[in-house]
């Protein structure tokens, strides 16, 4: 079940989109910081591990139980980033869904190794047989294959999923960019 929470994030790594970076000039809460769009964040995430970044995106989902997590997407909805509520963010309000926000936070990484991918694959194959979730599981199995191929191509023994420990955010329409 833990693996299912990564589905949205995992799909992010396989989509590409080109957009321009925006710099924030005199933006309250983001002054003199460069506001990254999601494709640029994904491109630079590895270089910014454990560093503060400012990212803008549209809230696609707020976890309903605690509000401690949300997902922001790019303008094409092809890429998303998980944002955890930390720092000055007690939680994300569900009314944020569909709104553009500018998040300040620390880049973090979750590494998926071959053992993790093997266990995930076994779980999916059991679900596929037991619950007849063929299409859903087939897409996830394809993602696992793509992750393994990426690891092979990059000569790495893990696959990285990047996310943000959000320390603050502002509604984009309340900030001058």
CATH code of the domain containing 44: 2.40.50.140
94 and 139 together in one domain: no
Tell me which H or E stretch contains 169: strand 158-171
pLDDT digits (tens, 9 = 90+) for 136-169: 677 888 999 999 999 999 999 999 999 999 999 9
132 and 65 together in one domain: no
Greatest distance between any 2 Cα atoms in the chain? 56
Phi, psi of 172 (to 5 degrees): -60, -35
59 and 134 together in one domain: no
68 and 16 together in one domain: yes
For residue 80, give the nearest of 7, 174, 177, 27 by alpha carbon.
7
8 and 90 together in one domain: yes
117 and 107 together in one domain: no
> What's the rounded Cα separation, in Å, for the pair 46 and 41?
9
pLDDT at 172 over 60: yes
74 and 60 together in one domain: yes
Query: Considering the entire predicted model, what is its pTM?
Result: 0.74
Residue 45 lies in a domain: yes
Q: What is the mean pLDDT of the chain?
A: 81
Confidence of residue 175 (pLDDT cuts 50, 70, 90): confident
Residue 71 lies in a domain: yes
138 and 56 together in one domain: no
The CA–CA distances, whole Å, from 20 to 33, 36, 37, 160, 163 equal 15, 9, 7, 24, 21
Confidence of residue 3 (pLDDT cuts 50, 70, 90): very low
- Supply the pLDDT for residue 109: 96
How many residues in the chain? 177
10 and 53 together in one domain: yes
pLDDT at 132 over 70: no
- Range from 18-32, 38-52, 138-152 carrying the lowest mean pLDDT: 18-32
Residue 177 lies in a domain: no
89 and 139 together in one domain: no
CA dihedral 82, 85, 86, 90 (to 10 degrees): 170
Q: What is the span of the domain harbouring residue 17?
A: 2-112+160-172
Tokens standing for 87?
Answer: 């720092």
Please compute Rg for the chain using Cα positions: 17
Residue 140 lies in a domain: yes
> What's the rounded Cα separation, in Å, for the pair 29 and 103?
9
95 and 12 together in one domain: yes
Cβ neighbours of residue 52 under 8 Å, at least 6 residues apart? 104, 105, 106, 167
pLDDT at 36 over 80: yes
76 and 133 together in one domain: no
| CA 75 from centre of chain | 14
Residue 123 lies in a domain: yes
């Amino acid at each position: 079940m833990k693996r299912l929470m990564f589905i949205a994030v995992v799909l992010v790594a396989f989509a590409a989109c080109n957009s321009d970076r925006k710099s924030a000039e005199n933006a309250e809460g983001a002054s003199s910081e460069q506001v990254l769009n999601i494709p640029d964040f994904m491109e630079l995430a590895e270089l910014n591990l454990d560093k503060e970044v400012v990212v803008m995106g549209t809230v696609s989902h707020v976890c309903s139980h605690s509000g401690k997590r949300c997902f922001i997407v790019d303008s094409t909805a092809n890429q998303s980033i998980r944002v955890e509520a930390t720092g000055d963010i007690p939680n994300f309000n569900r009314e944020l869904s569909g709104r553009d926000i500018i998040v300040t936070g620390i880049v973090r990484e979750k590494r998926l190794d071959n053992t993790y991918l093997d266990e995930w694959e076994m779980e999916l194959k059991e679900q596929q047989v037991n619950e007849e979730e063929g299409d859903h599981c087939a897409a996830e199995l394809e993602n696992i294959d793509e992750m393994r191929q990426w690891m092979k191509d990059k000569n790495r023994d893990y696959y990285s999923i990047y996310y943000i420990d959000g320390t603050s955010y502002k509604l984009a329409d309340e900030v001058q960019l």
